[in-house]
């Protein structure tokens, strides 16, 4: 009532009114949002390269280099460059156990070849020898299968004690290695006979 009347513009209680104006361009991204079609076009990559022959040649060269590196690793025993199926402590333990053991299965192919030749050679000359050769071959096959079962039984117990479990595919990996000639095995054996892994 008495005294000077306050100016409504300068006496506002709103703090936003007292703040200096903010430059909208400084706080925003400074460009419009791209449309969906423009964003998809920017992220799109060609499914087929422009030069197919050059791309195919480069892919073949890369595959060849990878195979060569894997082969060298399997010769030297370097697991870093081996194929995925041969990596890991379990697979190395299986390989060392099989390679340290004398397996009947590793001589299966040469023995089978010899007895099949004998059987075919004596079929007309002496049938008794041909039948005997075939029977001996069957006995050897059965003995090799039993030896493979004994190998797996012992190896499985050691795997459970050392690693706590037997991964899937380990049985086939061990048996297939046991039925290969020692010199033809890949990766190359890294232990001697009777030098079992700890």
Per-residue pLDDT tens digits for 123-135:
888 889 889 999 9
Q: What is the pLDDT of residue 48?
A: 61
Print burial letters for 25-52: b (CB count within 10 Å at least 16), e (below 16).
eeeeeeeeeeeeeeeeeeeeeeeeeeee
Residues 6+ apart with CB under 8 A from 82: 70, 73, 74, 187
Q: What is the pLDDT of residue 6?
A: 52
Q: Which of 26-30, 33-37, 152-156 has the lowest mean pLDDT?
A: 26-30
State both tokens at 92: 């190395």
Q: What is the pLDDT of residue 46?
A: 60
Q: Do residues 170 and 59 touch, judged by C-beta distance below 8 A?
A: no
Contacts 24+ apart (CB under 8 A), 115-124: 115/140
Q: Give yes or no for residue 8 having a pLDDT over 60.
A: no
Q: To which residue do tokens 């009532």 refer?
A: 1
- For residues 51-62, average pLDDT: 83
Q: What is the pLDDT of residue 3?
A: 52
pTM flag (> 0.85): no
Q: Do residues 196 and 97 touch, judged by C-beta distance below 8 A?
A: yes
Per-residue pLDDT tens digits for 147-193:
999 999 999 999 999 999 899 999 999 999 999 999 999 999 999 99
Per-residue pLDDT tens digits for 41-50:
777 766 666 6
State both tokens at 114: 């010899």
Q: What is the pLDDT of residue 185?
A: 93
């Amino acid at each position: 009532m008495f005294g000077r009347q306050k100016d409504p513009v300068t006496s506002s209680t709103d703090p936003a009114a007292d703040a200096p104006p903010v430059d909208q361009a400084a706080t925003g991204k400074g460009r419009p949002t791209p449309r969906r079609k423009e964003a998809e076009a920017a992220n799109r990559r060609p499914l087929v390269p422009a030069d197919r022959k050059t791309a195919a040649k480069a892919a073949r060269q890369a595959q060849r280099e990878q195979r060569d590196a894997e082969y060298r690793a399997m010769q030297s025993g370097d697991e870093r460059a081996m194929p995925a199926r041969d990596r890991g402590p379990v697979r190395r333990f299986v390989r060392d156990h099989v390679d340290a053991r004398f397996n009947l299965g590793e001589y299966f192919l040469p023995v089978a070849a010899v007895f099949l030749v004998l059987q075919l050679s004596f079929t007309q000359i002496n049938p008794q020898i041909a039948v005997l050769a075939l029977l001996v071959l069957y006995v050897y096959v059965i003995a090799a299968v039993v030896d493979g079962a004994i190998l797996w039984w012992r190896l499985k117990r050691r795997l459970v004690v050392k690693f706590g479990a037997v991964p899937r595919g380990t049985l086939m990996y061990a048996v297939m290695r046991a039925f290969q000639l020692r010199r033809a095995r890949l990766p190359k054996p890294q232990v001697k006979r009777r030098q079992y892994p700890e």
